[in-house]
């Protein structure tokens, strides 16, 4: 194809410049800022094809927020990559309130990644027989997983029969990686083993298969992921005295709780998945800064927020049921990304739980601040004041 | 607070360096790559608080993809910011298939942005009376909107009564901006006018209000947004002859359609919002490259994919019901972001529709390629081959 | 077919007995109680084919409950057809609490019925053109509706484009009838008119159509129906002083509200449509007693419940967004059914709003009683005490 | 209360008449048909309080339908209690098509009933500790269940932590009963044991509990029930040659499949739970005829329908994920109800699986007939023809 992007398969700075020049010629745009990049094309073989340049996203600091969690402890400052004014200011305000109340407690409840192939059978009876066969061969499945991956551990085999088709959720723990790829490899290994083992047999052999039939909800928002978990399931909790709610958040525990219940009922009426507020602002900011798969912001953005009064205090909690994150692999080894991860104390092995807890803690801080703003009308004011004034009507 | 982030409210390079040094001292991390940034701190007053540095995300080129849409026409190359190997290769494969089939037709169906305050009343009767009052005062509402914004246009006032509370979806068209902020300002103006007008009156005055009660689904995934639209609603369509499906996608129309129906039923079983595959990979890549609000990847990632056979051809369409995008405001004026937007031909006024159509076209290309890969088992192979080999088990 | 059910198309007592004898011979069952029925076979031509007998469902009285609604006023006793012990006792307890607090206020917010055909077009552009064409021909649509029905009134034409297909929600008001059939007839009339008008024209003619593509959610539970309404949308509200909550419900407003929020968050986690408790018990009981379409219990059972403290009082409201009911047509003219409807004061023209309000009021009463029971552990006790003792373990 | 319903707690014919007379006096309605009932008031102590009469619902015969299922085998005629014309005719037409194709294969996949109390803890850490404690005490839980019920068997303990609250789905198999009551009793027993065991201990004692926090989805429609099952999960399958589709259903396999995919995408757009058509018509008809809890029509009505072409044949399947049924307890022992259950061959122990399979088989038959009707426009015609003519516009 004469019009094709040049340098296909080449991971060099020369190829990058070649593509950029080609794009300039093609579009007539000068693109001066794209000339240089600090990225090393040769190091990106696993990250991007047809490299042409980069995009630089500003990173601001939110916090500090005091953590008293399982993996996240002490005062933490969060680097958020964002272009949306007021976000960091609001998260920091929430962090001040929580810290003044004694900090946020955080806890990872589970970590898992899923692939869910769909197998077609001659009839519903064979599909049901296959379900039994699969259960009986669980040790063989574990063995196949070991052949495909040193890190993936099969923790559940969860079948859903829809007519003649059997969707099987293969559920793995994947250590520090988000794990989509090792999970795919392990499941593919299982699928080939199933095929080979049942071929020519009179066992319940599938007659067709699809590597994933959506029961994994990969890159999708689903109630299934909110229920069963996908990625890291993490919870955060704080207690804030009424006087701090008043002085920092300019609200009262009663007003916050009333606002929260109103938001909950609104969420139900709208058919929202989850019942949070804007946790995804924090998730997106930390995902971009630390090299997570940014597309996973979609599925990771679901949250369930609670608020209650206890005596004079406000107790608030946040559940992130499906945070798809990793501290190795993907973009986490790129220079800036790795260093922001390091600044969070989350780089490398064992950092995943701490990272998840930091996300949950700051997301709770932001939701508190936003709820207070919505309740009192500060929300509209804040967006107008913080850097919006000069462009007032453009946004 | 002695531990606070330094330089609060200062938008200078000096303040940025001060914060970075403070973070280094605090964390013990050297963070060498964060030393420099091409961003001008003074230009970021509307984008980020507490700037400390940046993150550089690689951008690769996907395509070319031939468009025959309303706003997007001709051969387009898409800059995708990503760190996930195989994504650009897969999207480009889909683009080759579509282009060989005559291109992708695209169309924007609507553009709108929503704020939905919740008003509390003394009883359900007063809430119902307020609904009537609001309808009767529609010209006044339009007038208030004009006072608050030159661009926002109120197109619908849509009430939802839950007990004594009335949630009102104020629906706006917001031209080239994503519009959350102008919508907030306009709605806030309405709310103050409602309050002032009904105060002391014996009309149906609200006794409390919340600036948004979740009926806007702002930063959330909801069926309401999938139904009524939020942001830009855009659809893409292509027709690919069987021989192209075979030569480029290594599949057949029949297998693709069978895979699609299996995915659809799986989506239903899982309670997925929408029924697509991985459109969000394109959405995230283009959002980051062009300075969209990255948190909006969450709500924008919903899609509905269709596939059918027509004679020997495969017809596929993709609906993105809630793409929250803008070509002015937010991060779109940052240097790299603006230039990628320029390279797409979408910078500035009038670019929104073209941008939305490009997103939809490439998302359809990716979903076609991914469906083919899932059907034929290429999916697992592609992820292992493309740059994963050297880190095999890490992902 | 020799094995076929005898007397096809015959609406006589003789044919009924013939079928019953045939069934006895076929199954070997004696079926003594089925011998007689008070139903007149000749009067059932619009209600049932192949009549063989009947089923007698016991009806108990719940209440009285004091109404201060728009259409329902005064003390009402509700006949509930049920076989589930404790239901009527629990609803009556809730009714006592509400009545002691001054009664339940009720209000119908809207009434509508929907058919949503799906039209296929050559491409997405034609589908979009058809949308415009339909809007431009709204007066013609109204005219077609008048040709098909004296009662149906077209109130909205609401298009949803999915690829090349256009689903159009034709929204009607249907007076005292549930209206599925008149809506079907009117929509079918529109479809034929569309076909005839665009045939041979160069207008945007559909190439295929489906009388309903699920956007009506007919006989299904959907967020669309919860949002936009289907059938009658009705709301109920009550205020109960703390001492009545204590003496009648054996609970406190604080405990009730705490229970309610816990249920709300649980509903979100489970992906429940709506956020109620067990309103459907009342809906089913009143539907069976009064000859409603019992299958509509499925779609009608969605509810949104709220509870709040106001000073020492408990305020509770219930929204039933999609109550598919009628007071003419269907089973409402059968002898028992008509008389229970008469006892409720809802028989005939104009009774629909009163009936909907009565359903909502008693459903709120039951949810209050059930919440109190769940909070305090009475729930388990009540089910064991009320008639369950002798069969303890059977249920 | 002087206005109270008379004869509270009395299960006699005298008390029934007393109430009826009281109702007549109260409402001024004559209610002549309610005078007599064949029901024995004394036998209804577990079924209904404040008995005042009954309602007689006509029962027609649908079928015959040939079953080749696990529990349902041979030709079956289904008694459907309904007042909606065309339903039985349509189901019978579908049954003819399926029978001509060789019959319907059916299979029960699982049976379970759930209670899901919510426990509050001092903080999220204690809630997590309680989760571990509960897992470690599984044998004790089994023992408590045995104390409460001879039939219930605890098959899963499935925790969901939302902040400081732990919702626990206690999942039981309950033999021939629907099992809500025995499940409640067993769970209540567990709750009391938990309370007693942890009281005064330094273990992770709950500080508050709610007998059910909606994670059971009792009497609600949820994705959780569609996924994990509630009641009986049953699947049906048939294969119909093209000539039978043509002669009986007046359609073609291609048109049926096209219609089905259109309905699927419509279901997704509308946010329908499940992806069926009108299975609930059969469910409601068989539930009323056989004494099931009619309120369970709400949660039981969810379905997932599939249609595919295989050579010249149409293959269709239906999944009912949450059919809440029993063949003992509740209304199944009333005279008519018991006899209709007997006529189905489902009365008493072991009948549950057969009953579920019959429901699924006839629901598939109806959905086939309805799809054919929607595709070809017969739908509108059938409703007008079958008994509607004389009341044309009333419905």
Q: How many CB pairs under 8 A join C and D?
A: 524
Q: Provide the pLDDT confidence category of residue B382 given band limits of 50, 70 and 90.
A: low
Q: B220 vs chain D: nearest CA distance in angstroms?
A: 15
Quote the CA–CA distance of D280 and D359 in Å, as a whole number: 10
Catalytic residue of the set C13, C70, C84, C120: C84
Peptide bond before residue B342 is cis, with ω within 30 degrees of 0: no
Q: Provide the pLDDT confidence category of residue B42 given band limits of 50, 70 and 90.
A: very high
* Cα C13–Cα C16–Cα C18 angle in degrees, nearest 5: 110
Q: Which residue of A has its CA nearest to C274?
A: A268
D364, D334 contact by CB (below 8 A): no
Query: Is C308 marked active-site?
Result: no
Kindly state the average pLDDT of the residues D48-57: 97
* Chain D contact for B306 (CB, 8 A cutoff): yes
**In this predicted structure, what is the pLDDT of residue A82?**
98
Kindly state the average pLDDT of the residues C194-209: 90
Higher-confidence position of B344 and B389: B344
Tokens encoding A169: 């959720």
DSSP secondary structure letter of residue D5 = P
* Chain A contact for B90 (CB, 8 A cutoff): no
Catalytic residue of the set C18, C107, C250, C383: C383
Cβ of C227 within 8 Å of Cβ of A308? The answer is: no
Quote the CA–CA distance of B363 and C175 in Å, as a whole number: 46
**In this predicted structure, what is the pLDDT of residue D389?**
36
Quote the CA–CA distance of D79 and C51 in Å, as a whole number: 9
Tokens encoding B388: 């994963």
Structural domain boundaries in chain B: 13-43, 63-111+227-386, 117-210
Q: Would you call B10 helix, strand, or coil by DSSP? A: coil
Kindly state the average pLDDT of the residues C30-54: 95
Residues of D annotated as part of the active site:
84, 219, 293, 383
Q: Which of A13, A17, A29, A57 to mutate to test the interface with B (most CBs of B within 10 A)?
A: A57
Q: Which of B223, B226, B229, B269 to mutate to test the interface with D (most CBs of D within 10 A)?
A: B269
Cβ of D266 within 8 Å of Cβ of C213? The answer is: yes
Burial class (CB within 10 angstroms; exposed 0-12, middle 13-18, buried 19+) of A146: middle
Closest C-alpha among D287, D284, D394 to residue D341: D287
Closest C-alpha among D383, D363, D335 to residue C54: D335
* Chain A contact for D265 (CB, 8 A cutoff): no
Which CATH code, of 3.40.50.720, 3.40.1000.10, 3.40.50.2300, 3.30.70.420, is assigned to D117-210?
A: 3.30.70.420
Q: How many CB pairs under 8 A join A and B?
A: 524
Q: Give C102-151 pLDDT, tens digit per residue.
A: 999 999 999 999 999 999 999 999 999 999 999 999 999 999 999 999 99
Tokens encoding A156: 């559940």
The percent helix, strand, coil of chain A (3-state, each to 5) is 45, 25, 30
Q: Which residue of A has its CA nearest to D364?
A: A163
Residues of B annotated as part of the active site:
84, 219, 293, 383
DSSP codes, D130-154: HHHHHHHTHHHHHHHHHHH-SS-EE
Q: Which residue of A has its CA nearest to C319?
A: A269
Cβ of D261 within 8 Å of Cβ of B308? The answer is: yes
The rounded percent of chain B whose pLDDT value lies above 90 is 91
- Name the average pLDDT for chain B: 93
Q: Give D214-260 pLDDT, tens digit per residue.
A: 999 999 999 999 999 999 999 999 999 999 999 999 999 999 999 99
pTM: 0.96
Q: Per residue in A124-133, is it b (16+ CB within 10 Å) or e — as a string? A: bbbbbebbeb
Cβ of D47 within 8 Å of Cβ of C84? The answer is: yes
Tokens encoding A139: 């040790």
B220, A267 contact by CB (below 8 A): yes
Q: Which of D207, D227, D303 to mutate to test the interface with A (most CBs of A within 10 A)?
A: D227
Closest C-alpha among D112, D137, D45, D129 to residue D330: D45
- Taking contacts as CB-CB distances below 8 angstroms, the residues of chain B near C317 are 124, 162-164
* Nearest-CB residue to A46 (from B151, B160, B390): B390
For chain A, what's the residue count? Answer: 395
Tokens encoding B384: 């292992």
Query: Cα(first)–Cα(last) distance of chain A, in Å?
Result: 41
Architecture of the structural domain at A63-111+227-386: Alpha-Beta Complex (3.90)
Q: Give C58-82 pLDDT, tens digit per residue.
A: 999 999 999 999 999 999 999 999 9
Q: Provide the pLDDT confidence category of residue D1 given band limits of 50, 70 and 90.
A: very low
Q: C21 vs chain D: nearest CA distance in angstroms?
A: 12
- Taking residue C58's Cβ as centre, other Cβ atoms within 10 Å add up to 24
The rounded percent of chain C whose pLDDT value lies above 70 is 94
Q: Give D263-322 pLDDT, tens digit per residue.
A: 999 999 999 999 999 999 999 999 999 999 999 999 999 999 999 999 999 999 999 999
Q: Consecutive sets of 10 residues in chain A, 395 residues long: mean pLDDT of each?
A: 81 97 95 94 96 98 98 98 97 98 98 97 97 97 96 97 98 92 94 92 91 97 96 98 97 97 98 96 98 98 98 98 96 96 92 97 98 82 45 34
Number of continuous H segments (helices) and E segments (strands) in chain D: 13, 10
- Taking contacts as CB-CB distances below 8 angstroms, the residues of chain A near B212 are 374, 379
Q: Which residue of D has its CA nearest to B268?
A: D274
Q: Please, what sign has the CA dihedral across residues B269, B274, B279, B285?
A: negative
Q: Which residue of D has its CA nearest to B267?
A: D268
Quote the CA–CA distance of A66 and A74 in Å, as a whole number: 5
Tokens encoding A34: 């794209």
Q: Provide the pLDDT confidence category of residue B380 given band limits of 50, 70 and 90.
A: low
Q: Would you call A262 helix, strand, or coil by DSSP? A: helix
Note every long-range contact of C37-40, with CB atoms under 8 Å and residues 24 or more positions apart, other chains counting: C37/D56, C37/D58, C38/C335, C38/D33, C38/D56, C39/C334, C39/C335, C39/D56, C39/D58, C40/C13
Q: Provide the pLDDT confidence category of residue D202 given band limits of 50, 70 and 90.
A: confident
* Nearest-CB residue to C235 (from B161, B237, B271): B161
Query: Is C293 marked active-site?
Result: yes
- Taking contacts as CB-CB distances below 8 angstroms, the residues of chain D near C391 are 46, 329
Residues of A annotated as part of the active site:
84, 219, 293, 383
* Nearest-CB residue to C237 (from B109, B124, B235): B124
* Chain A contact for C43 (CB, 8 A cutoff): no
Q: D311 vs chain C: nearest CA distance in angstroms?
A: 23
D334, C83 contact by CB (below 8 A): yes
* Nearest-CB residue to C268 (from A258, A261, A275): A275
- Between strands C304-310 and C313-323, the pairing is antiparallel
Counting as contact any 3 or more CB pairs under 8 A, the partners of D are: A, B, C
A55, B56 contact by CB (below 8 A): yes
- What is the ipTM, given to two decimal places? 0.95
Q: Would you call D206 helix, strand, or coil by DSSP? A: coil
* Nearest-CB residue to C268 (from A258, A261, A304): A304
Q: Please, what sign has the CA dihedral across residues B291, B296, B301, B304?
A: negative
**In this predicted structure, what is the pLDDT of residue B387?**
38
For residue C2, pLDDT over 50 is answered with no
Q: Give residues 312 to 351 of C whose Cβ lies within 8 Å of B.
A: 315, 317-319
Quote the CA–CA distance of C152 and D304 in Å, as a whole number: 32
Burial class (CB within 10 angstroms; exposed 0-12, middle 13-18, buried 19+) of A208: middle
Q: Give residues 143 to 172 of C whose Cβ lies within 8 Å of A.
A: none
Cβ of A237 within 8 Å of Cβ of D164? The answer is: yes
* Nearest-CB residue to B51 (from A60, A177, A217): A60
* Chain C contact for A269 (CB, 8 A cutoff): yes
For residue B266, pLDDT over 60 is answered with yes
For residue B392, pLDDT over 50 is answered with no
Q: Give C288-318 pLDDT, tens digit per residue.
A: 999 999 999 999 999 999 999 999 999 999 9
Quote the CA–CA distance of D292 and D325 in Å, as a whole number: 6
* Chain D contact for B125 (CB, 8 A cutoff): no
Q: D161 vs chain A: nearest CA distance in angstroms?
A: 8
* Chain B contact for C37 (CB, 8 A cutoff): no
**In this predicted structure, what is the pLDDT of residue A369?**
98
* Chain C contact for D375 (CB, 8 A cutoff): yes
Q: Give C256-274 pLDDT, tens digit per residue.
A: 999 999 999 999 999 999 9
Q: A200 vs chain D: nearest CA distance in angstroms?
A: 22
- Taking contacts as CB-CB distances below 8 angstroms, the residues of chain C near B224 are 223, 227
Cβ of B88 within 8 Å of Cβ of A33? The answer is: no
Q: Would you call C159 helix, strand, or coil by DSSP? A: strand
**In this predicted structure, what is the pLDDT of residue A376?**
83
D81, C48 contact by CB (below 8 A): no
D164, D124 contact by CB (below 8 A): yes
């Amino acid at each position: 194809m004469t019009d094709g992007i040049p340098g296909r398969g080449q991971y060099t700075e020369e190829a990058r410049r070649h593509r950029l020049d080609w794009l300039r010629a093609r579009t007539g745009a000068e693109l001066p800022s794209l000339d240089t990049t600090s990225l090393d094309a040769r190091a990106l073989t696993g990250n991007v094809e047809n490299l042409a340049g980069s995009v630089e996203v500003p990173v601001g600091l939110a916090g500090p927020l005091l953590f008293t969690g399982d993996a996240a402890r002490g005062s933490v400052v969060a680097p958020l990559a964002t272009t949306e004014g007021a976000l960091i200011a609001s998260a920091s305000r929430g962090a001040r309130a929580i810290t003044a109340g004694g900090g946020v407690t955080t806890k990872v409840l589970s970590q898992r990644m899923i692939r869910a192939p769909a197998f077609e059978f001659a009839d519903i009876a064979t599909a049901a027989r296959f379900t039994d066969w699969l259960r009986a061969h669980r040790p063989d499945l574990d063995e196949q997983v070991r052949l495909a991956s040193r890190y993936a551990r099969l923790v559940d085999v969860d079948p859903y029969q829809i007519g003649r088709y059997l969707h099987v959720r293969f559920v793995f723990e994947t250590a520090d990686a988000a794990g989509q790829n090792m999970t795919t490899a392990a499941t593919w290994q299982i699928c080939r083993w199933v095929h080979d083992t049942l071929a020519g047999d009179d066992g319940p052999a599938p007659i067709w298969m699809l590597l994933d039939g959506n029961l994994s909800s990969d890159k999708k928002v689903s109630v299934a992921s909110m229920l069963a978990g996908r990625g890291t399931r993490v919870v955060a909790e704080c207690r804030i005295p009424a006087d701090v709610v008043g002085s920092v958040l300019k609200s009262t525990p009663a007003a916050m709780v009333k606002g929260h219940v109103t938001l909950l009922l609104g969420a139900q009426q709208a058919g929202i998945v989850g019942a949070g507020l804007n946790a995804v602002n924090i998730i997106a900011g930390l995902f971009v800064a630390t090299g997570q798969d940014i597309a996973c912001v979609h599925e990771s953005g679901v949250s369930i927020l609670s608020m209650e009064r206890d005596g004079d205090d406000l107790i608030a909690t946040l559940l992130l049921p499906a945070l798809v994150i990793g501290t190795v692999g993907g973009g986490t080894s790129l220079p800036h990304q790795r260093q922001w991860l390091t600044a969070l104390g989350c780089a490398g092995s064992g950092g995943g739980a701490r990272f998840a807890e930091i996300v949950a803690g700051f997301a709770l801080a932001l939701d508190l601040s936003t709820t207070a703003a919505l309740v009192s009308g500060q929300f509209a004011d804040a967006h107008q004041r913080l850097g919006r004034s000069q462009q007032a009507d453009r946004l």
